[in-house]
Structure 1
């Protein structure tokens, strides 16, 4: 799945200055109704601005964040029709503080960050400026986040009663029985039906193309003639759509751990690609645990670690840990480890402790808490927003037959994540209403200012072939690869090499002269475990 050959390194990192992009323009003659509606909504937002003040109490945001709202049309083809409000958060650039030693750093406007999803809220995003790696960027930019449409408090979606959303312990078979499949199919049909019953015809307007249009209205409301944007994970697809729809509105864009934007892969094919990539990432985790057998006593080979995991899964099927952790929760905890190396020592420690008679670390890390109503409501809303966007973005195979055939074949070589991913996305097989046709994202020379693409070579959530596809489609983009690592989202992390390229681009508008790579971060250190 991942490309084995990297493009040449830039050596001494020769850098070139970017050229300025032209100012935003009105839609051309013959533009679509949605393009005209976006221009109308953006003009209104530019005139209204954003009245920043205290953030909504329900969001439990710190006082350093200030929030406001931006009004957008539910349907951009009808800009005078029903309106919804998006909540935006901001932390002002620290160069504005006269007591800050960096106050002489020139301001560069707003940097809007979308952390991924879909279904992920970005209101906490500006707090990254508190981290040491982000402080130079935070000195220059107002850091801005927002909750996309569908994500609370921005016209939140719901597909079922949150009290029933948090699952208790359940199986996680790699070869599901016919009875188990029937159960999950019925659940997926009921979930899709609930989404439509709770939202009605408005549900069709929650998709990535409208999220990109919303982003342009947010830009206008912030008073920014051109957008400076950083997207992570599926936030990069939002950025790619924005670049396709509004290339003249772009100032700088960072695509961190990008999704494959090829129209034929959006949705179902990307799902299969990620399931296969996670098998390699699961092996990375097992190899690391095996190298630290002196600490965890889970086996000195990946195969032995797999057997220890399987033993734990079988025990949990008979008696869930703490009444909350079954095989599905165990798998979910280790799927998280596939996203970020930082989880590895904790998951290994919890698995080792459980097999030696102490279930508490595993319960702490993987247990569900349905009694926490606020957390359940937040999780249900996030899943509803994710499902709506993904199902609306593209055509998915209808019914279960194609999913069953493809996943049965794939699970023979990639059993770890395949079926878990199927159950998470199966409501799309029973989705009602029109689907969007994914646009052919592609920019020619000079259509878009140079952009920066960041990727970890072994990232399972953003398989490297898809990274290269985005890179090819955005003319003038430069790719920085973190070699031999797989953490999802590398900008502003512990890799000084990556951060140097990110800062040079955002602060000075400079990019490597050609694609380059970084040696990668060191692997995590083991935490003391029961066997140490």
Structure 2
């Protein structure tokens, strides 16, 4: 899926906006509810684990490698290494907290290096912050498929095709992409699914010396946490699943819901934009939305100017990525206004830079392996259609509710139609007997719509929903003091809020 379910984009987006403006964090809000203590969950080990060989790796951070089986069904067979990083607790240590930013495909090691913004001072005082790159990601036996210039070409394919020739180009591009994955990473492809990563996470918990798992997962990281809970319910201490994914949905159902989520987020942006003098649009939200759709249609024929200096043409695919990126974080909305103002004058440079943030393309033209890992994990985790005609039908149907994002997101899963290994889905998740699990949903989250959080909380036997009346992707540490307080009390003191508690809108 080309619009990744990841909170890691937020960290990169923060760097983008800070570099442009020096903008800081928002002020918080107030609110909350009483809670009940969790039962049957120990506080964890007070002694750091000795199962890993830690070495200094910059500042106060320590790094290590964890050996795990390539195939968990063959525990004595070939091993691969998982890259791990930790920031030791600053106070009276309870144990470790594992964190994952989502994706799938985002680096948990890089995410942990931002621990001071990812977690509150209070949580960092009581826990070693531990990040890891899941198998196939970053520094953990990464999946690789294409060199940078071919990834540029793949990401430039017209993913809202309106002719047989454009559909053929998409099919051929997807097949080339899959062939590259098979050629460069064939041995890994059957073993990078979420079930495998959850089993690795349990081995990491054991190596860290924690009796039970304390975990913060955002976006796709909620799916990883939920699968862990289902596999190992008795080993759950406290899981926060923020920006939840609904594992009960089929891939195309998930894509359709996500596309509508981005449309809702775009309309929220437009409503805010139209109230400012700097807005390049006039009239109503509907008319502004229609103008953007028309802008994309025109760019499909006459790409916008690219002043970055590379060879990419700023057509519809790059523009959709660039529009989506600031919708992850309300603080980035001013840059989307700026990007639209430029685009309406024929300049796509800012949209292109924003697109690069989302797909982790570097200024030198190289990529992290986020895109390739995202595809590999998604394709093995779920049962996608095996014909392009099924994607074409879904894309047409998506136009009704998501005219801007629908076709792009639907066609983004096409490589999975040609994937060379059999999928291994883990659809039903209820985690019977697990300690209370906190599921946090943001009402206007573009990438993981709020209805997914409600569904996941209902599916989990011990799920507890926290409702944030907010914008952007994920809620914890996004400016809501209400959400932050509820999450911190749960992680540190195992105080579980009332199911369905609502945190008010900021401002």
The yes-or-no answer on 1:195 pairing with 2:181 is: yes
Q: Which runs of 5+ in 2 are unaligned?
A: 1-30
Q: Which of 65, 70, 93 in structure 2 is aligned with 1:69?
A: 65
Equivalent residue number for residue 78 of structure 1: 74
The yes-or-no answer on 1:376 pairing with 2:366 is: yes
**Cα distance in 2, alignment partners of residues 133 and 84 from structure 1:** 29
Equivalent residue number for residue 142 of structure 1: 128
Question: Displacement, 1:172?
Answer: 5.1
Contact 1:13–1:513 under 8 Å retained in 2: yes
Contact 2:441–2:454 under 8 Å retained in 1: no
Q: How does 1:31-430 map to 2 (within 5 A)?
A: 49-55=51-57, 62-95=58-91, 106-131=92-117, 134-167=120-153, 170=156, 174=160, 176-262=162-248, 265-292=249-276, 294-310=277-293, 312-313=295-296, 314=298, 317-322=301-306, 324=312, 325-356=314-345, 361-362=350-351, 364-366=353-355, 376-378=366-368, 381-430=369-418
CA 1:120–1:321: 2 relative to 1, 3 Å: same
**Cα distance in 1, alignment partners of residues 460 and 264 from structure 2:** 28
CA 1:307–1:450: 2 relative to 1, 3 Å: closer
**Cα distance in 1, alignment partners of residues 361 and 234 from structure 2:** 49
- 344-353 or 81-90, which deviates more: 344-353
Question: Displacement, 1:434?
Answer: 1.7
Contact 2:66–2:204 under 8 Å retained in 1: yes
Contact 1:88–1:146 under 8 Å retained in 2: yes
Question: Displacement, 1:132?
Answer: 9.2
Contact 1:321–1:363 under 8 Å retained in 2: no
CA 1:289–1:171: 2 relative to 1, 3 Å: farther
Contact 2:222–2:243 under 8 Å retained in 1: yes
Equivalent residue number for residue 488 of structure 2: 503
Question: Displacement, 1:495?
Answer: 0.5
Structure with bigger gyration radius = 1
Question: Displacement, 1:512?
Answer: 1.5
Contact 1:204–1:433 under 8 Å retained in 2: yes
Contact 1:277–1:463 under 8 Å retained in 2: yes
**Cα distance in 2, alignment partners of residues 346 and 162 from structure 1:** 26
Equivalent residue number for residue 36 of structure 1: none
Contact 1:71–1:84 under 8 Å retained in 2: yes
- 167-176 or 458-467, which deviates more: 167-176
Q: Tell me the secondary structure at the aligned position of residue 148 of structure 1.
A: coil
Question: Displacement, 1:214?
Answer: 0.6
CA 1:178–1:412: 2 relative to 1, 3 Å: farther
Contact 2:305–2:348 under 8 Å retained in 1: yes
Q: Deviations over 1:413-470 (max 9, x none)?
A: 31111222133221001112221132421134xx111121111012232222221221
Q: Tell me the secondary structure at the aligned position of residue 479 of structure 1.
A: strand
Q: Deviations over 1:473-498 (max 9, x none)?
A: 22232211012x23111112201111
TM-score normalized by the length of structure 2: 0.85
Q: Which runs of 5+ in 1 are unaligned?
A: 1-10, 25-45, 56-61, 96-105, 523-532
**Cα distance in 2, alignment partners of residues 399 and 321 from structure 1:** 35
**Cα distance in 1, alignment partners of residues 131 and 244 from structure 2:** 19
Q: Tell me the secondary structure at the aligned position of residue 214 of structure 2.
A: strand
CA 1:261–1:48: 2 relative to 1, 3 Å: same
